[in-house]
Amino acid sequence: MDDKKKRKKRSGSSDNWLTTYGDMVTLLLTFFVLLFSFSNINETKWRELVFAFTGGTSGGKIIPTDGNGNADATPPPMPTPTPKVTPSETPAESKSPTPTQTPKPTPTVRFPDNIDEIYNGIIGFVKDFELETKVEVNKTDFEIIIRFTDNVMFESGRAELKPEFHGVLNAFANILDRFEQEIEMIRIEGHTDNRPINTWQFPSNWELSTARAVTVLRYLIEEKGFSPLKISAVGYGEYHPVDTNDTAEGRARNRRVDFVITRSANITTTPED
């Protein structure tokens, strides 16, 4: 009797491993089914799934499924980016019309009409002092040149004005002063011939020609009250001849003091057509 009970207990306990085995087989089958399902996932669906978990700074997205755990075949619509409008893409009708540019006025230089009055006044001065053989007067569109030969003003090799020339220079200065408003600049130029000079006072013709021009300039400023802003002096030596230096007559013409008078110009503006 006891032996039968023992045999029944052994046989009942020996069937318990089947339950454990069945559970293990079921789990293994489930695991392999899952592996198989993952191995056949669509690449597009996989990217959508990844994007659902890592989809940007705005947080995750929910991917709709078909009820079996598979992602819906229709992906959600992507947001349409708003195009940026640049100035070049602005519609033509929104552009303001370009204003018509006003043409810039063209400056017009107009010299005073009374330049002939200055010229005629100087010619009258030359005739009054009977200087026709010693003074030349030339006129261009821009300036008047009055040439005094050196023997009228100076002794040979000297830079002091002759005393008898003071009256002549005073009368000439009065003519210039009368047209002071019309005269822009008076340039006094000293010239010599090509014969060299070498003294303690004038080592070369540069010094002699410059000293003579400065002597006349200082006389007009200090004795006649000319403005230093409208008068200048320069010496050219023998390097600006007006005649040949091969003859006595030519050298006499080259030894001179020139007054170059530049007339003022009135600047007006007129619009272009």
Q: For residue range 23-50, list pLDDT tens digits in order.
A: 888 888 887 777 766 666 666 766 776 6
Q: Given phi > 0 = left and psi -120 to 50 = alpha, else beta, which region is 173?
A: alpha
User: Could you list the pLDDT tens digit for every one of the 273 residues in the chain?
Assistant: 555 555 555 555 566 777 788 888 888 888 777 776 666 666 676 677 667 656 544 444 445 555 555 555 555 555 565 555 555 444 444 455 555 565 555 544 444 556 888 999 999 999 999 999 999 999 988 899 999 999 999 999 999 999 999 999 999 999 999 998 889 999 999 999 999 999 999 999 999 999 999 999 999 999 999 999 999 999 999 999 999 999 999 999 999 999 999 987 654 444 444
> What is the pTM assigned to this prediction?
0.58
Measured CA to CA, the distance from residue 162 to residue 257 in angstroms comes to 14
Specify the pLDDT at position 248: 95
Specify the pLDDT at position 142: 84
Specify the pLDDT at position 243: 97
Specify the pLDDT at position 264: 76
pLDDT digits (tens, 9 = 90+) for 156-200: 999 999 999 999 999 999 999 999 888 999 999 999 999 999 999
Specify the pLDDT at position 58: 46
Say if CB 235 and CB 213 are below 8 A apart: yes
Residue 186's DSSP bridge partners are 231, 261
Q: Given phi > 0 = left and psi -120 to 50 = alpha, else beta, which region is 192?
A: beta
Sequence-separated (6 or more) residues with CB below 8 Å from residue 267: 107, 108, 109, 110
Single-letter amino acid, residue 205: N
Name the phi and psi angles at 161, rounded to 5. -65, 140
Specify the pLDDT at position 35: 73
Sequence-separated (6 or more) residues with CB below 8 Å from residue 240: 189, 191
Specify the pLDDT at position 22: 81
Mean pLDDT across the chain, nearest whole number?
A: 79
